[in-house]
Amino acid sequence: MFHVKQFEKVLKESQQDIEKYIKVLLEWQKHVNLISKNTIPDLQKRHVLDSAQLWKYIPDSSKTLTDVGSGGGFPGIILGILNKVANFPLTITLIESDNKKAIFLKEVNRQLGLNLNILSERVEKIENLKSDVLTCRAFSELNQILILCRKIVSRETIWILPKGKGYKEEIKNCQFDAQIEEFPNEYSEGVILKISGVKYE
């Protein structure tokens, strides 16, 4: 995983691209509901930094990352920007079933030169996709995430999932054996779950 000082350096060097992304986001927000209007005044903390912190949990050996239910691009676009600046050899795929949001993601990808793969499809219908790391934010509860994403993961996949205050109940209701680590979320009352070794059989 990234050393904190390395992460801070990459985040600082990413500011220009992040600002450009936010400008496009706010322009599109006038016509497409990309994020909750209530979170716009605190967008930097609630969305940008909350997404960026996930970068620290990506193993150095990772080659592919999939972000499921990318919506307005959190965390997928932010991770794509950090990946570009860090010159990290990570192939990133964003999955978003809402066509308007997918078009937005493609436009950001083009304008920022992020070289992301963007799929406008429901995740449970996707096959032939390898995910060393899987992220999703505000997508679904834990057990449902594990069910919907089973075709695009393996036993070796690392899941990095920001979760809200009800995360303990979600873990309790999880029907799959897995190693679950909890890390404090620096920007909200929830946690970041790092999950590995998910057993489907």
Q: Which residues pair with 177 in a beta bridge?
A: 199
Distance CA 163, CA 188 (A): 9
Type and span of the H or E element at 179: strand 177-184
CA angle (192 as vertex; 2, 70 as ends), nearest 5: 90
Distance CA 95, CA 106 (A): 11
Tokens, residue 120? 């406008």
- The CATH number that applies at residue 31 is 3.40.50.150
- How many residues in total does the chain contain? 201
Q: What is the mean pLDDT of the chain?
A: 93
| Model-wide pTM > 0.75 | yes
Average pLDDT over residues 62-67: 97
pLDDT value, residue 4: 64
pLDDT value, residue 115: 94
pLDDT bracket for residue 6 (50, 70, 90): confident
Domains: count for the chain: 1
Single-letter residue type at 30: K
pLDDT value, residue 2: 56
Owning domain of residue 147: 4-199
Residue 90 pLDDT > 60, yes or no? yes
Average pLDDT over residues 13-22: 96
Helix (H, G, I), strand (E, B) or coil at 118: strand
Residue 39 pLDDT > 90, yes or no? no
